[in-house]
Structure 1
Amino acid sequence: MIFTLGINHHSAPLAIRERVAFGAEKLHHALADLTRSQPVKEVAILSTCNRTEIYCAAETPEVVVDWLAQYHQVARDEIAPYLYTHDQPEAIRHAFRVASGLDSMVIGEPQILGQMKDAVRVAEESGTLGTQLHKLFQRSFSVAKEVRSTTAIGANIVSMAAAGVHLAERIFESIDSQRILFIGAGEMIELCAAHFCARQPKQVTVANRTVERGRALAERYNGHAIRLDELGEHMPQHDIVVSCTASPLPIIGLGMAERAIKARRHRPMFMIDLAVPRDIEEEVGDLDDVFLYTVDDLAQVVESGLESRQAAVIEAEDIIASRVQDFLGWLQARDTVPVIRSLRDAAERVRRHEIEHALKLLAKGEPADKVLEHLSQRLTNKLLHAPTQTLNLAEGSERADLQAAAARLFHLHSGE
């Protein structure tokens, strides 16, 4: 049975989501730990700033809920109210909707598809992606492609990065006179840099743990790179700070922010924290001269773009409903595989036995035509003995059901 359980921006606030997030460097260990300690056959973990979801093939999702709480050292009762659990067919529908961007904070955004593909790659590398989940994700990617190519779900998309620019322009008259500090050099920061730098800011700085990667991003926008441990020295010189790293602990604490504001003589500072767990301590937002926004805050900005995409959403949901039925058909077909294999194995044993018997008769000098006739009769009788006996012994509604099944299995017609 395929299950999906998780927590996302619909079900939980950021303060809860960040407690169960998995950093990229922990995913391999987490997958190995889950499959080793629990009766889970297949598993993949999708962890982004908006969601932590576990896709698995298991007898029950309860063991996975217990594992999630234990792994993150969080009391089960603390996260249980925010967790959702889907089994078939809803688990399949959920995977298709996530891949297609229908479950995202920004409806139709394409970034989640890449994140899901990364989750699948990690599960494959960890050896935890079996036949069922492999097929589920491949179908999810196929459905996402169909939705994006046949509907307008991605038209006029309002991205998180664009929302950040919109908020910054509420604080400052013009971004072209501001100095921007980007913390991190991953995909989200690259998107933000593209949007902010399109406004031609006065200065661009990239702070990253790996300076070489930070420098590669900074040079695209005529900026320069610094090390993360130089943040305290350089932050006061910047008006806008955009952060998104995979750090498990805050990078900017209250003390660092207070010193920066003091050095700036209380000129306002606009900060966006797109990381989960957060890069910037929550208390920083309480400072009078700091305007701090998280991923949940940006949701209010992107909400305005939903109405224009509602027609496309309806079309996409219809496509997904149809593809869910197709996938359920594939799963049901898999359920018959063991029966078909047993049936063929039994028939093969009978065939081999009768061939050996016929060869012995030929060796004794029996005429070939008589041996063949004898072989065909014995083979027919043995193959039909079990179903014939079952039909004869059946009574009442069971007999009617078996007769109907026999007619369908053997393509029988009335009068034949």
Structure 2
Amino acid sequence: MALFTLGINHHTAPLAVREQIAFQTDTVQQALADLTRCQAVHEAAILSTCNRTEVYFAGDTPGAASQWLAAYHRLARHEIEPYLYTYPEREAVRHAFRVASGLDSMVLGEPQILGQMKEAVRAAEEAGTLGTTLHKLFQHSFAVAKEVRSTTAIGANIVSMAAAAVRLAERIFERIADQKILFIGAGEMIELCATHFCAQQPRHVAIANRTVERGLMLADRVGGTAIRLEELGERLPQFDIVVSCTASPLPILGLGMVERAIKVRRHRPMFMVDLAVPRDIEFEVGEMDDVFLYTVDDLAQVVESGIESRQAAVVDAEAIISERVDGFLRWLATRGTVPIIRSLRDAAERARRHEMEHALKLLARGDDPARVLDQFSHRLTNKFLHAPTQALAQASDGRDELPALVGRLFHLHPDSRLGE
């Protein structure tokens, strides 16, 4: 059983492709159960964010997982294969460590991905698909991420997606303080965006969320109001800035709804940010003259302005990761010997029990205890040494590596002679 990573991310695929194979939070556990029904996949975890969908798994071959991924999303395999990457063992471990450390993120060094990986691990645990190998991989990943962030400057001067959205809005509107802002969703990303935008003290803030109670909680924290998703069509024209990030599998704001809102606004511009994957706002909305629509991929250009100051830290981070990869692979190698160690101990235990029963019978009939113990030890020794002695006797020539291996196994001195 080997370790693999199969995935697609912002480096290999545009948003239009990534959103086709994204997993919704409430479907991940069922998807994992479905994947591990494949005989070739024994352990699995799925990491699905706005920038990536990755399957970490232990199995026999990677082919079964890529075939499953296409079938699960009802896509032809050739449609997504050009965008997929598959990493075997060493590369899979290194990739997991880099992702956890923020080195593979659109925002270099961003900390959110670590929480998202932990959520992926929890989902796999609850689905019963984590297993010993993946559990160890992710625990090592989290430890490496902590080491990288505490010993390098990889997290310094981060320009987050939320901060980038504010910067873009400031290009459209002279003052954020004069604008009304609508946030759709109430998750971590929306909360971050709300914090950044509200620091500019906008005229009004509203939170629209599927669960009104959760929307009210966030609205209370940022000094805004909460509205129901069903009210969007009616309330949308009131807002100058719209930021959306939900887990909806279908768009929440369609072209028709936005067209009506712009008409009511008498073509006053709207600034919209869609951070969701799949997208919350139909892409045709971005073609409207009075709408400035930005997606996660668009924000990357703004984010990159802060990368230069962190590039030196990448070298240090990569060195840490390379060393930790070697350590994990050493542990993984020992996992391969577990079955043979178990078999060896089982065989020794069977021989011990058999000879113990024989010795007890001799004692029960009154034989001399000293003679019984001597016979017991000889018989047990002969059973233990029979297989290695036979293998040595059948070694093809003096250069066979078996004698040296036996010497290592039994801690024999180089000058000792078998049989002496």
Deviation for aligned residue 1:360: 3.0
Gaps of 5+ in 2: none
Deviation for aligned residue 1:375: 2.2
1:57 aligns with 58
2:101 aligns with 100
Deviation for aligned residue 1:202: 1.1
1:347 aligns with 348
Would the aligned equivalents of 1:159 and 1:302 in 2 still touch at CA under 8 Å? yes
Deviation for aligned residue 1:226: 0.7
Q: TM-score, normalised by structure 1?
A: 0.97
| Equivalent residue runs for 1:164-203 within 5 Å | 164-203=165-204
1:407 aligns with 407
The residue type paired with residue 407 of structure 2 is A
SS at match of 1:256: helix
For 1:37 and 1:377, the matched residues in 2 are separated by: 50
For 2:275 and 2:35, the matched residues in 1 are separated by: 28
2:315 aligns with 314
Q: Which string of whole-angstrom CA distances, capped at 9 and with x for unpartnered residues, describes residues 243-284 of structure 1?
A: 001111111111111111121121111110000011111111
TM-align CA RMSD:
1.4
The residue type paired with residue 227 of structure 1 is R
SS at match of 2:21: coil
1:126 aligns with 127
Q: TM-score, normalised by structure 2?
A: 0.96
Deviation for aligned residue 1:318: 1.2
| Structure 2 residue 392 is matched with structure 1 residue 387 | no
SS at match of 1:312: helix
1:146 aligns with 147
| Equivalent residue runs for 1:4-403 within 5 Å | 4-37=5-38, 39-396=40-397, 400-403=400-403
Q: Which string of whole-angstrom CA distances, capped at 9 and with x for unpartnered residues, describes residues 76-116 of structure 1?
A: 11111001111101111111111111111001111111111
For 1:388 and 1:34, the matched residues in 2 are separated by: 46
Q: Which string of whole-angstrom CA distances, capped at 9 and with x for unpartnered residues, describes residues 270-321 of structure 1?
A: 1100000111111111111111100000000111222211121111111111
SS at match of 1:415: coil
Deviation for aligned residue 1:329: 1.1
The residue type paired with residue 307 of structure 1 is E
SS at match of 1:166: helix
Would the aligned equivalents of 2:6 and 2:85 in 1 still touch at CA under 8 Å? yes
SS at match of 1:207: strand
Would the aligned equivalents of 1:38 and 1:64 in 2 still touch at CA under 8 Å? no
For 2:374 and 2:210, the matched residues in 1 are separated by: 82
Q: Which string of whole-angstrom CA distances, capped at 9 and with x for unpartnered residues, describes residues 186-228 of structure 1?
A: 1100010011111111110111111111111112222111111
Q: Which string of whole-angstrom CA distances, capped at 9 and with x for unpartnered residues, describes residues 111-165 of structure 1?
A: 1111111111111111111111111111111111111111111111111001111
SS at match of 1:213: helix
Would the aligned equivalents of 1:101 and 1:110 in 2 still touch at CA under 8 Å? yes
For 1:222 and 1:340, the matched residues in 2 are separated by: 63
Would the aligned equivalents of 2:101 and 2:145 in 1 still touch at CA under 8 Å? yes
The residue type paired with residue 151 of structure 1 is T
Deviation for aligned residue 1:362: 2.8
Range 196-205 or range 214-223, more displaced: 214-223
The residue type paired with residue 404 of structure 1 is A
SS at match of 2:114: helix
The residue type paired with residue 200 of structure 2 is R
The residue type paired with residue 402 of structure 1 is L
SS at match of 2:401: helix
SS at match of 1:245: coil
Deviation for aligned residue 1:37: 4.8
For 1:360 and 1:32, the matched residues in 2 are separated by: 53
The residue type paired with residue 282 of structure 1 is F
Deviation for aligned residue 1:58: 1.4
SS at match of 1:158: coil
Would the aligned equivalents of 1:358 and 1:375 in 2 still touch at CA under 8 Å? yes
Would the aligned equivalents of 2:101 and 2:148 in 1 still touch at CA under 8 Å? yes
% same residue? 73
SS at match of 1:396: coil
Gaps of 5+ in 1: none
SS at match of 1:271: strand
The size of the alignment, in residue pairs, is 415
Would the aligned equivalents of 2:38 and 2:64 in 1 still touch at CA under 8 Å? no
For 2:408 and 2:261, the matched residues in 1 are separated by: 79
For 1:141 and 1:71, the matched residues in 2 are separated by: 29
For 1:222 and 1:359, the matched residues in 2 are separated by: 83
For 2:210 and 2:183, the matched residues in 1 are separated by: 12
For 1:272 and 1:297, the matched residues in 2 are separated by: 9
The residue type paired with residue 254 of structure 1 is L
SS at match of 2:261: helix
The residue type paired with residue 42 of structure 1 is E
For 1:353 and 1:388, the matched residues in 2 are separated by: 21
For 1:163 and 1:137, the matched residues in 2 are separated by: 30
